[in-house]
Structure 1
Amino acid sequence: MEIEIRERESKGFAIAREDGKKAGMMTYSIPGSDFIIVDHTEVEEAFKGKGVGKQILYKIVEMAREKNLKILPLCPFANAMFKKLNDIQDVLK
């Protein structure tokens, strides 16, 4: 699974691909210099139940740690994952 993060102005997204096919995407907003807001997660039907959303979230968490950012998870999926996973609590806003 390849996961790439792209940003333009005040928006960003992480896209997951497997064998050239889009597996899922997570989008976020950049309202300031110290945090991001994860606002949407989608996983393609063929990849549901394979942990794609979680892998994408971990990639965004890794990026947030590198940039010293906090994450505000407004997306229901991301919010549920932050409640469930103790190893990513350090970046929770």
Structure 2
Amino acid sequence: MSDLSVQREVTPSKGRYVIRSAEGESELTYSAVSSSLVIADHTEVAPGLESQGIGRKLLDALLADARAEGFKIVPLCPYVNAQRRKHPEWADLFQV
């Protein structure tokens, strides 16, 4: 899995973090409300790659960008929200 890199694709109102592999695309999508707020709305891991840390790798990229760019995340996606609840040290990155 270490050779699977996360790429960020951005449009004016939406974006996604994507990992491309032989199994397909895995992605975490978001909607940009403003330059300081994004809504993480969906995470999907390619079939065959479940339970291998792919979702977490996508989320880590979102969290790193939130820290670097100073935006907050609304965790609408069930996966992102579940991870947020498990990691209180991330509280400063979320708006709930």
Q: TM-score, normalised by structure 1?
A: 0.90
CA root-mean-square deviation: 1.4
CA pair 87-55 structure 1, distance change in 2 beyond 3 A? farther
Q: Percent identity?
A: 32
Q: Could you report, residue by residue, the CA deviation over 1:13-71 in whole angstroms, capped at 9, with x for unpaired residues?
A: 000134x6545100000011211000000001110010110110010110111110000
Q: Would you say how many aligned residue pairs link Structure 1 and Structure 2?
A: 92
Paired letter, 1:17: R
Residues of 1 paired with 2:47 and 2:24: CA distance? 10
Q: Which runs of 5+ in 2 are unaligned?
A: none
- What secondary structure, in the 3-state scheme, does the structure 1 residue paired with 2:34 have? coil
Which residue of structure 1 aligns with residue 13 of structure 2? 10
Paired letter, 1:91: L
The structure 1 segments of at least 4 consecutive aligned residues displaced by more than 4 Å after TM superposition are none
Q: TM-score, normalised by structure 2?
A: 0.87
Q: Which runs of 5+ in 1 are unaligned?
A: none
